[in-house]
Chain A
């Protein structure tokens, strides 16, 4: 896929943003694990917070391909920063997809004004298996009362707006799951633990407890029981974004190898064949992943079903980031292993891409499930998968 001149210009600006605001400080935030609060203001100025929000609500209304191009550049700078801004998108997808006019106004206004949003689905016992979730939402008068806990919530300590999932009817399992808009800082929404992570250390990851958290009934997204459908639709949109930032990580790793060889070898043409082939393989894999991811996003922009393409894009992107970064580490040896070089950080940052927004095993279940369904005898009704 060839980017339009407009997309290329946006790509250039995103690259500039990464070079100016992210790359110079990424190492320090990785070391300390502190949250780079300044990035919210910088991202607001560069109009990176409301990329997918419609213009009438003050957003940029960018198509998915262009958002992916931006995420790739941010991932090139630092996957921790990219995660902050990528998950911000995931947070507001739900109101974007199913919200009423009022709900959209409520949710988008703080984002447009320079706030982050968050997405709270995962629970301690419910990672890949969403159906094991225990958080409940009980309707009392014109309110829902939410109770339970959520874990691994990106930007949870900083977000102004949340999309939170809880069971309105626990007896129905996943069919009783519902989605709610919750304002950050609401009484009863408590941050209990900050995760200290192997990588994407600049991003904020927390455990949340909901203790009699009161949510106006008007903040129910869709209908009661729509939660699973909404969550999956949100993740369908988010997964190619993970693929995009993963491609950015991989590209950075390749560029770091080239930089290293340009310094180490007075004449880079003397680089051995084995290393040359490794560089070529990196380039091949990165380009294949980039096009796969962009294709999935183009499918989305065309308004076509995206679930399988989304799973492919996420898996392809993140597996590529992992392979390319580990290959780069092996090529750079002791230098790459030291904190003098960014490559060891790229390896750590790449690993989470295979884990979050649905592990790559879950993606393979989705992809295989569709394949198996396609060969089932017409009479069979059993669900494929797992």
Chain B
């Protein structure tokens, strides 16, 4: 893959890897145990520009492009998928503001987000069967010059630590998701209520909670009419970064399992010499390699400003299969030892379950893919 990456991209990758290995990895187990928000790590990442990787320099970003960002996310995920997930959720909000914000909104929000002084979050999922469909759907009504939001978003990542939320709400309750628009909401706005932190299987250091809105003042991001397209693109870009997390975790897991297999002797030889084990390792590593290429390709499209939603959907679909299936195999290789809570593999297993199934606002990538063929 390296021949496709520029020297700059390789440098970003290396910097992220160094930080991940030297700083994050020693913290990761403790973060998983306590589930505490890694405020220090976030500050540290901010000082390395990791929170504004692809944002323009004029707003304080590093302007490295989306592919570099995805390379960085993959490296962070190799040490802590939870920390990487905080960065991804933050960056997706920043992506939306950078792409559709007015000059004024960009100036107001981006520099603080790029420098990591403020964190972002994207609020999409709702308790109902789909966005805009349940009794608690977030509905935006015009009020004065702006909008007021009412309703509830569920399982919002970075909830409670975010300073600014990109919230998708419906401007017409009867029309439901067809009237989806994007809004910017200040976390301190009156009527915004963050629910209790959810306890999760993995990605434990990343806060997740419901967010309730009771007449919360919101400003429109982009246009009300263009809301559905904004949602589709934000979530597609999000899915690519999320897939990079899965690739990062699977990459670590397969290396760990291969090393274990070389050391574990049964029947008088390392189990890595058995075809049954080789088959499992080869399958996982091949899928990981293919997924990585697809992730990089989709990220390059985003960086170049080309259409990418179909590619993102395919990346998401493929990564969904890659994550859980791979960890089931690598954990199988490490047997009863890998099943111990104190071993890395069980943590990776819990984490990847999250990177593969969460943030599924792009709930049905198959539909996007099927419709694109022809």
**Contact residues, B182-222 vs A (CB, 8 A):** 198-202, 208
Among the listed A128, A197, A322, A351, which residue makes an inter-chain contact with B266, where contact means beta carbons less than 8 Å apart? A128
A330–B246 alpha-carbon span in the complex (Å): 14
Task: Give every chain A residue within 8 A of B340 (Cβ-Cβ).
Answer: 195-198
| Chain A CB within 8 A of B276 CB | yes
**Contact residues, A177-207 vs B (CB, 8 A):** 195-199
Of A87-95, A110-118, A339-347, the one with at least 4 CB within 8 A of chain B: A339-347
A330 with B276, Cβ < 8 A, contacts A197-B339, A264-B129 known: no
**0/1 string, A238-279, CB within 8 A of B gives 1:** 000000000000000000000000001110001010100000
30 contacts between A and B (CB under 8 A): A122-B336, A129-B266, A132-B265, A152-B336, A196-B341, A198-B339, A198-B341, A264-B134, A265-B129, A266-B129, A270-B129, A272-B364, A326-B324, A326-B328, A329-B357, A330-B324, A333-B125, A333-B360, A334-B357, A335-B154, A337-B353, A337-B354, A337-B357, A338-B198, A344-B353, A347-B353, A351-B339, A351-B349, A355-B336, A386-B267
| Chain B CB within 8 A of A216 CB | no
Q: Which 5 A-B pairs have the closest CB atoms?
A: A334-B155, A344-B201, A129-B266, A198-B346, A339-B199
| Chain A CB within 8 A of B356 CB | yes
| Chain A CB within 8 A of B350 CB | yes
| Chain A CB within 8 A of B374 CB | no
Cβ–Cβ contact A355 & B339, under 8 A: yes
A3–B127 alpha-carbon span in the complex (Å): 40
Task: Give every chain A residue within 8 A of B320 (Cβ-Cβ).
Answer: 330
Cβ–Cβ contact B276 & A361, under 8 A: yes
The count of residues in chain A whose C-beta lies closer than 8 Å to any C-beta of chain B is: 46
Nearest chain B residue, comparing its CB with the CB of A199: B339
The count of residues in chain B whose C-beta lies closer than 8 Å to any C-beta of chain A is: 41
Q: List residues of B whose CB falls within 8 A of some A CB.
A: 125, 127-129, 134, 154-155, 198-202, 208, 265-268, 276, 320, 324, 328, 331-332, 335-336, 339-342, 346, 349-350, 353-354, 356-358, 360, 363-364, 366
| Chain B CB within 8 A of A138 CB | no
A348–B154 alpha-carbon span in the complex (Å): 24
A200–B277 alpha-carbon span in the complex (Å): 25
Among the listed A274, A336, A339, which residue makes an inter-chain contact with B357, where contact means beta carbons less than 8 Å apart? A336
**0/1 string, A293-336, CB within 8 A of B gives 1:** 00000000000000000000000000000100010011001111
Cβ–Cβ contact A127 & B198, under 8 A: no
Among the listed B200, B328, B342, which residue makes an inter-chain contact with A337, where contact means beta carbons less than 8 Å apart? B200
Minimal beta-carbon separation of B15 from chain A (angstroms) = 31
Q: Which of B266, B350, B358, B360 has the most CB of A within 10 A?
A: B266
Task: Give every chain B residue within 8 A of A198 (Cβ-Cβ).
Answer: 339-341, 346, 349-350
Cβ–Cβ contact B200 & A338, under 8 A: yes
Task: Give every chain B residue within 8 A of A340 (Cβ-Cβ).
Answer: 198
Among the listed A329, A360, A386, which residue makes an inter-chain contact with B332, where contact means beta carbons less than 8 Å apart? A360
| Chain B CB within 8 A of A219 CB | no
A333 with B358, Cβ < 8 A, contacts A132-B266, A339-B200, A351-B349 known: yes
Task: Give every chain B residue within 8 A of A264 (Cβ-Cβ).
Answer: 127-129, 134
Task: Give every chain B residue within 8 A of A337 (Cβ-Cβ).
Answer: 200-202, 353-354, 357-358
Q: Which of B202, B265, B346 has the most CB of A within 10 A?
A: B346
Nearest chain B residue, comparing its CB with the CB of A198: B346
| Chain B CB within 8 A of A208 CB | no
Apart from A265-B129, A334-B155: 7 A-B pairs, beta carbons within 8 A: A129-B267, A132-B266, A152-B336, A198-B349, A333-B357, A351-B349, A352-B339
A351–B350 alpha-carbon span in the complex (Å): 12
Cβ–Cβ contact B328 & A351, under 8 A: yes
A330–B358 alpha-carbon span in the complex (Å): 8
Task: Give every chain B residue within 8 A of A351 (Cβ-Cβ).
Answer: 328, 331, 339, 349
| Chain B CB within 8 A of A7 CB | no
| Chain B CB within 8 A of A54 CB | no
Task: Give every chain A residue within 8 A of B202 (Cβ-Cβ).
Answer: 337
Cβ–Cβ contact A330 & B356, under 8 A: yes
Nearest chain A residue, comparing its CB with the CB of B339: A198
A27–B267 alpha-carbon span in the complex (Å): 39
Minimal beta-carbon separation of B211 from chain A (angstroms) = 13
A151–B337 alpha-carbon span in the complex (Å): 10
Cβ–Cβ contact B350 & A359, under 8 A: no
Nearest chain A residue, comparing its CB with the CB of B364: A274
Nearest chain B residue, comparing its CB with the CB of A129: B266
A367–B357 alpha-carbon span in the complex (Å): 34
Minimal beta-carbon separation of B130 from chain A (angstroms) = 9
A5–B199 alpha-carbon span in the complex (Å): 43
Task: Give every chain B residue within 8 A of A131 (Cβ-Cβ).
Answer: 267
Task: Give every chain A residue within 8 A of B332 (Cβ-Cβ).
Answer: 354-355, 359-361
Task: Give every chain A residue within 8 A of B342 (Cβ-Cβ).
Answer: 196
Minimal beta-carbon separation of B281 from chain A (angstroms) = 13
A327–B132 alpha-carbon span in the complex (Å): 25
Task: Give every chain B residue within 8 A of A333 (Cβ-Cβ).
Answer: 125, 155, 357-358, 360, 363
Among the listed B155, B265, B349, B360, which residue makes an inter-chain contact with A338, where contact means beta carbons less than 8 Å apart? B155
Task: Give every chain B residue within 8 A of A336 (Cβ-Cβ).
Answer: 357
A322–B353 alpha-carbon span in the complex (Å): 13
A363–B332 alpha-carbon span in the complex (Å): 13
| Chain B CB within 8 A of A60 CB | no
Cβ–Cβ contact B336 & A330, under 8 A: no
Q: Which of A196, A270, A333, A386 has the most CB of B within 10 A?
A: A333
Cβ–Cβ contact A356 & B336, under 8 A: yes
A386–B273 alpha-carbon span in the complex (Å): 12
A356–B354 alpha-carbon span in the complex (Å): 25
Minimal beta-carbon separation of A30 from chain B (angstroms) = 11
Task: Give every chain A residue within 8 A of B154 (Cβ-Cβ).
Answer: 334-335
Cβ–Cβ contact B328 & A339, under 8 A: no
Task: Give every chain B residue within 8 A of A274 (Cβ-Cβ).
Answer: 364, 366
Cβ–Cβ contact A335 & B339, under 8 A: no
Task: Give every chain A residue within 8 A of B360 (Cβ-Cβ).
Answer: 333-334
A265–B202 alpha-carbon span in the complex (Å): 27
Task: Give every chain B residue within 8 A of A122 (Cβ-Cβ).
Answer: 336
